[in-house]
Chains A and B, each alone.
Chain A
Amino acid sequence: MEKKKNNSTSVVLTIVGVATLLVALVGATFAYFTASSTSSGQKVDAGKLEVVSTLGDTSQTNIMPTTWDSATISNNDSNDNIAKFTLTVDGGATDVRGAVYDLSITGAVNTTTVNNGVAEQGGDESDVKYQLVKNGEVKATGDFTNLTAKSILTGQTLTGSTEDEYTLYVYILEDNTNQDKLQGATVSVKMIANAYTPKIGG
């Protein structure tokens, strides 16, 4: 009989213990006093990415086959047969971190028939070359063969203060053969700047 009583006491104590534990776990809901605080609004602004590429006009006209001075780039500036275009890449209002830009080029050579008494022979768009130069250093070079949105420079840092200036040189490389098909041609070119924030390291 005495033993039964002890068992009942143990059951009661167990129940009380478990109940106390539950109360402890859900704590605040059984608090006597409560308080709450909400901070002021914290604004979250996403960064802005902007890029503007501007290609200037050239003062050269009626260019003829010529040579490129790769030893002293600045010497090409005084060559009237090399068209020079100023390319500016502006970061605009970019404020996003880690932005970069790539440059692509699109160009074409539109030939025409010239009636100057010679059979037009020799010369094609592969003779028309470009050189992209920044601060006296050639960044990209190539010719006008199938020149459509060709990527020529990648991963250039872009910020809101970016005003990168390049010079794009366009010329007909003299190959000491007839290049008459290029007489009276119009060479067109445009530059495309693509800016982005890379996922890795961005």
Chain B
Amino acid sequence: MEKENQGNGNKALLLVIGAATFITAMVGATFAYFSATSTSDQKTVTTATSNITVTADNNTVTNIRPTTWNEANKDTDTEIVKMTVSVDGTSTASGRYSLTMNQPTINIGSIASDQGVVGDFKWAAYDEEGNQLVAPTSMAASQTNTLIPGKDKSGYTNDYTATGASPVTIDDEYYVYVWIENKNADQNNLQEVSFDLTFTGSGTTSTN
């Protein structure tokens, strides 16, 4: 009986030693004999900043009066708003932007109800190559209009491309013409009306 107990004790001891050996083997590296380490210098890369700037260069003609729109020969009684859209700070030559015109409430005079309405103010938009973007349109009391139609992805309507070293800079020009349509009648309510148009550009680097 005593011998049997002693045999069991030996077996247990062997099992403990075996288990310890196995655990040591499994964690291997943590019991490395030699070790060395090397940490590289820290390196960095910067991400791009996408900037879009809309500059409106207006007031080439002031004190406009009723006129007749002639696309081929825009006369001096059209208010020309020239906009320059700049996209920079990007490292690739593609992206997309939208351009909208924001028109505030137009307050006209009240001399007589038949002497001119807000809708007599017209506007149209063109790109720098003379392509019509927005056909002559009556102004409403207030509204926001997309100037560059034709694209339909995520509200960014105009792809741009450019070449050159990073950062890429492009300058696109657009023209908005504003005039008072000549109704061949009194339009005195429109005298001395003044309002400011603002233009908003939104850009994205994504073309998906």
Contacts and interface: CB of A to CB of B under 8 A. Distances in A.
Q: Do A and B come from one complex?
A: yes
A196 B40 contact: no
Contact of A196 (B36, B39, B45): B36
A192 B41 CA distance: 9
B32 A196 contact: yes
Given A197-B34, A199-B28, A55 B40 contact: yes
Interface string A169-202: 0101010100000111111111111111111111
A81 B202 CA distance: 21
**A interface majority secondary structure:** loop
B205 A64 contact: yes
A195 B37 CA distance: 6
A172 B50 CA distance: 14
B37 A194 contact: yes
B38 A192 contact: yes
A51 interface: yes
Interface string B164-203: 0011000000000000000000000000000000000010
A188 B44 contact: yes
Interface string A115-144: 011100000000000000000000000000
Interface residues on A, range: 35 or more
A192 B89 CA distance: 33
A186 B38 CA distance: 24
A61 B38 contact: no
A83 to B, nearest CB: 4
Among B28, B34, B36, max chain A CB count under 10 A is at B36
Contact of B34 (A56, A96, A174, A187): A96
Interface string B108-130: 00000000000000000000000
**B interface majority secondary structure:** mixed
A73 to B, nearest CB: 19
Interface in B46-63: 46-52
A57 B50 contact: no
B163 to A, nearest CB: 13
Given A61-B166, A64-B92, A199 B47 contact: no
A62 B47 contact: yes
Contacts of B91: 60-64, 80-81
Contacts of A182: 47
Nearest to B24: A199
A47 interface: yes
A162 interface: no
B3 interface: no
Interface string B79-93: 000000000011110
A80 B166 contact: yes
Interface of A: 47, 49-58, 60-65, 80-81, 83, 85, 87, 96, 99, 102, 114, 116-118, 170, 172, 174, 176, 182-202
